């Protein structure tokens, strides 16, 4: 079986680097708005779950959280964890089973809820996982309470360009996957205006022990992160100074309720974190600071 540890380490280093770039950019936006807000970083250690031995190094992560003038609440989390899935959960994960429950996972997860309802909320996540298989997954989606066609088109164009650099099929496939995934069946609405989503982008080792497929998928995953860093700050700066009405704020709070419903009922990442001994505060940082239900 291939030892994916060096590959996991390279992915971890990239996710931490991307976090640092994103957090610096978000803090710069706060300075432009006259705010001194900055990220507070809280390290955490993964807790063992059923079926794992005591005293094993199960990894952990760092939760980055900022509450400012522009970013009402934004979390940027990076984690690298390893261990074994519980027997009940193992069968639901690609390449895992009750007989082969071992896994490792490293990734970055970001959710931003904005103070001004003209500025879209956003989610971005990229990750590398190993079981008996190894694969990348991730994506980003835009969640505006008050959609602007210009912003939606620009967001999608940035990710289409990133996709097209790697495969002419990626954008159409991964956009459709996002449209299907980020949907709230009981409301019969999409969570936002979409983006891209991909999973199980599998890597296989070469005969010489390397993995050209891993390198290609890693390069794509890096470009997804760079696309987010390029486009979302532009949208924030474009809208953060606009005036808004009480009706605009009410619309934002209602859509935040939809966001919370999706993440608590349907989101795979929430379930994965809860089932694998993740940090509760980091897992639920995606929830908005305020929301309403009629």
Q: Supply the residues annotated as catalytic.
A: 123
Burial string for 224-241 (b: 16+ CB within 10 Å, else e) reads bbebbbebbeebbeebbe
Residue pair 160/139 in contact by the 8 Å Cβ criterion: no
Distance CA 234, CA 249 (A): 22
Smallest CA-to-CA distance from 120 within 259, 18, 25, 284 is with 259
Residue pair 7/214 in contact by the 8 Å Cβ criterion: yes
In this structure, the number of other CB atoms found within 10 A of the CB of residue 253 comes to 15
Q: Phi/psi of residue 226, each to 5°?
A: -65, -35
Q: In what order do the strands lie in the sheet with 102-114?
A: 40-45, 59-66, 71-84, 102-114, 121-130, 134-143, 194-203
Distance CA 159, CA 108 (A): 17
């Amino acid at each position: 079986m291939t030892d994916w540890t060096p590959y996991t380490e390279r992915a971890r280093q990239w996710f931490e680097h991307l976090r640092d770039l994103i957090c610096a950019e978000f803090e710069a936006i706060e300075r432009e708005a006259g705010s001194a807000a900055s990220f507070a970083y809280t390290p955490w250690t993964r807790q063992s779950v059923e079926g794992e031995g005591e005293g094993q190094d199960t990894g952990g992560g760092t939760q980055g959280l900022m509450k400012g003038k522009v970013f009402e609440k934004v979390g940027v989390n990076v984690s690298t964890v390893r261990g074994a899935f519980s027997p009940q959960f193992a069968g639901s994960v690609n390449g895992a089973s009750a007989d082969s429950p071992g896994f490792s996972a490293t990734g970055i997860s970001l959710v931003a809820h904005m103070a001004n309802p003209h500025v879209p909320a956003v989610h971005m996540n990229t990750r590398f996982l190993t079981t008996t298989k190894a694969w990348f997954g991730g994506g980003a989606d835009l969640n505006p309470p008050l959609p602007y066609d210009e912003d939606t088109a620009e967001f999608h164009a940035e990710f289409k360009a990133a996709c097209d650099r790697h495969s002419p099929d990626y954008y159409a496939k991964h956009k459709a996957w996002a449209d299907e995934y980020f949907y709230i069946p009981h409301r019969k609405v999409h969570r936002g205006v979409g983006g891209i989503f991909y999973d199980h982008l599998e890597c296989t080792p070469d005969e010489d022990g390397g993995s050209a497929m891993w390198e290609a998928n890693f390069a794509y995953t890096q470009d997804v992160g760079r696309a987010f860093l390029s486009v979302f700050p532009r949208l924030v700066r474009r809208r953060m100074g606009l005036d808004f009405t009480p009706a605009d704020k009410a619309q934002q709070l209602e859509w935040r309720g939809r966001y919370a419903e999706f993440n608590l009922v349907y989101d795979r990442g929430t379930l994965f974190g809860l089932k694998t001994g993740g940090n509760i505060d980091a897992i639920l940082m995606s929830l908005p600071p305020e929301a309403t239900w009629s």
